[in-house]
Amino acid sequence: MRQARIYLLALFIALPVVAANAQDARLRLDHLDGLEAHARDVVEVNIDGKLLDLAKRVTLKVNDENAKKVGAAISGLKGIYVRVYRFAQDNEYSVGDVDAIRSQLNSPGWEKLADVRSKKNNQKIDVYTMFTGDLMSGVAVVISDSKSIAVVNMIGPIDLEMLAELGGKLSIPDMDIDIDVEHKSKDQKPKDDKE
Amino acid sequence: MNDEYLWQKTGEDPETRRLEDALAVFRYREDDPPAVPIATKPPRTRRWRFALAFAVPAFAAAAVAAVIWFPITPPSDEVTFIYYPEPEIREQPVAAPAPVTRPSEPAKQPVRRGEVQPTVASLRHRAVTRLHPQRTGTVALTEEERYAYHQLMLALSISSSKLNIVRNTINGVEQTDNDTKQNDR
């Protein structure tokens, strides 16, 4: 009886910790809202909760194999938050806005997966993942250069390889929003788009 | 009147005999049909009634088959959403369409300006697809389902794009490192 009480107590302590850990994968992006006034192009997508559940059901409803692959890849997903800001001129945004996001990724739980720094266009790429046990509980991608900021924050497990491969299929358009044509021609080979 | 002659036809009864002779013209003869003094018209066969009896069920069956084959969309909030396997987005964009907004919320103007815009080719493709919908790829979705699906696909497309940028950049850096090492040797 006493052992059962101890187990129950441990369970009550552990559950909020696990829940809090899962919630930590969500980044605070509110401070980026002020950039909307200065940016030339803005993309803001928040999809979670019932809206995400509805979208998942639609992927299964659509009679297509690739749609079902997407549905399987995002079955455990709890939310996707996307911010893309593209500016007409260089350095129209404050570096502190992006650093505030990167500082959140330095908190415990996040693990750095990729870190690329290039002096050309002052490009910085950060990819972080968060795991709860063996299960991925979050992904964060922060890409910034002199003219654009892009932040992708996904909560919950997701197959990143499959997501990358599905670009351009289904209704997922294969687009590169933050790469200017002139930058692309200088920095990247044309084949890179489809690879 | 002699009853024996009347009922048994035995004996003689001139009065009855006279009546028999007077009515002899109406006597039954086995060979000839009886003469009917009233002129009768030959019966007309109404053939159009037979034709109508076949035409009405045939028309009803055709109508039922047409309704089953081409289902009538009820005038409700449901809209037909055509599913496009591979939309074309890399051509010259046309005028920006009105952004998709949540039905219950007011439109947020500055957001999603960089959203993927349909092209002339994709719009034409959609129009053709709507005119000739394929039963396998057409799904009837409500407005909210359509909005949710659109938002999810937009989020996934951007996420996919960013992951590909990361992958291409890392591959490019590794390639550059390898080239540098080969040049040093």
Contact list, A187 vs chain B (CB under 8 Å): 172
Segment B143-170, tens digit of pLDDT: 888 888 888 888 888 888 888 788 787 7
Contact list, A136 vs chain B (CB under 8 Å): none
* A61 interface with B at CB cutoff 8 Å: yes
Nearest to A55 by CA among A71, A38, A35: A71
Q: What is the 3-state secondary structure (H, E, C) of chain B?
A: CCHHHHHHCCCCCHHHHHHHHHCHHHCCCCCCCCCCCCCCCCCCCCHHHHHHHHHHHHHHHHHHHHHHHCCCCCCCCCEEEECCCCCCCCCCECCCCCCCCCCCCCCCCCCCCCCCCCEHHHHHHHHHHHHCCCCCCEEEECHHHHHHHHHHHHHHHHHHHHHHHHHHHHHHHHHHHHHHHHHHC
The rounded percent of chain A whose pLDDT value lies above 70 is 73
Which one of A112, A113, A171 makes the best mutation probe of the B interface by having the most chain B beta carbons within 10 Å? Answer: A171
What mean pLDDT is reported for chain A? Answer: 76
Q: What is the pLDDT of residue A39?
A: 87
The alpha carbon of residue B101 is apart from the nearest alpha carbon of chain A, in Å, by 11
Distance from C-alpha of A86 to C-alpha of A145, rounded to nearest angstrom = 10
* A141 interface with B at CB cutoff 8 Å: yes
CB-facing half-sphere around the CA of B73: CA atoms within 13 A: 11
Identity of the residue numbered A144: S
Identity of the residue numbered B79: V
The rounded percent of chain B whose pLDDT value lies above 90 is 5
* A58 interface with B at CB cutoff 8 Å: yes
Q: Residue A63 and residue B169: Cβ atoms within 8 Å?
A: no
Segment A129-163, tens digit of pLDDT: 988 888 888 999 999 988 899 999 999 888 777 77
Distance from C-alpha of B122 to C-alpha of B127, rounded to nearest angstrom = 9
| Window 36-75 of B, Cβ < 8 Å to A | none
Whether A179 has a pLDDT exceeding 60, the answer reads no
Of the two residues A193 and A49, the one the predictor is more confident about is: A49
Q: What is the pLDDT of residue B154?
A: 83
Q: What is the average pLDDT across A93-118? A: 87
Q: Residue B37 — very low, low, confident or very high, per pLDDT cuts 50/70/90?
A: low
ipTM of the complex: 0.71
Which one of B160, B167, B168, B173 makes the best mutation probe of the A interface by having the most chain A beta carbons within 10 Å? Answer: B160
Contact list, B87 vs chain A (CB under 8 Å): 171, 173
Segment A10-23, tens digit of pLDDT: 545 544 444 444 45
Contact list, B163 vs chain A (CB under 8 Å): 141, 160, 163-164, 167
CA closest to A173 among chain B residues: B157
Q: Residue A57 and residue B145: Cβ atoms within 8 Å?
A: yes
3-state secondary structure of A24: coil
Q: What is the pLDDT of residue B101?
A: 52
Segment A56-69, tens digit of pLDDT: 888 887 777 777 77
Q: Residue B85 — very low, low, confident or very high, per pLDDT cuts 50/70/90?
A: very low
Contact list, A42 vs chain B (CB under 8 Å): 110-114
Distance from C-alpha of A96 to C-alpha of A85, rounded to nearest angstrom = 15
- CA distances (Å), B77 to each of A63, A78, B103, in order? 22, 28, 12
Q: What is the pLDDT of residue B58?
A: 93
Whether A183 has a pLDDT exceeding 50, the answer reads no
Whether B62 has a pLDDT exceeding 90, the answer reads yes
* B175 interface with A at CB cutoff 8 Å: no
Residue in A40, A55, A168 nearest the CB of B151? A55
Q: What is the pLDDT of residue B150?
A: 82
Q: What is the average pLDDT across A76-87? A: 90
Whether A85 has a pLDDT exceeding 50, the answer reads yes
Whether A35 has a pLDDT exceeding 90, the answer reads no
Look-up: residue for tokens 């550059």?
B176
The domain locations on chain A are 2-189
Whether B126 has a pLDDT exceeding 80, the answer reads no
Q: What is the pLDDT of residue B125?
A: 53
Does residue A152 contact residue B158 with C-beta atoms inside 8 Å? Answer: yes
Q: Residue A80 and residue B113: Cβ atoms within 8 Å?
A: no
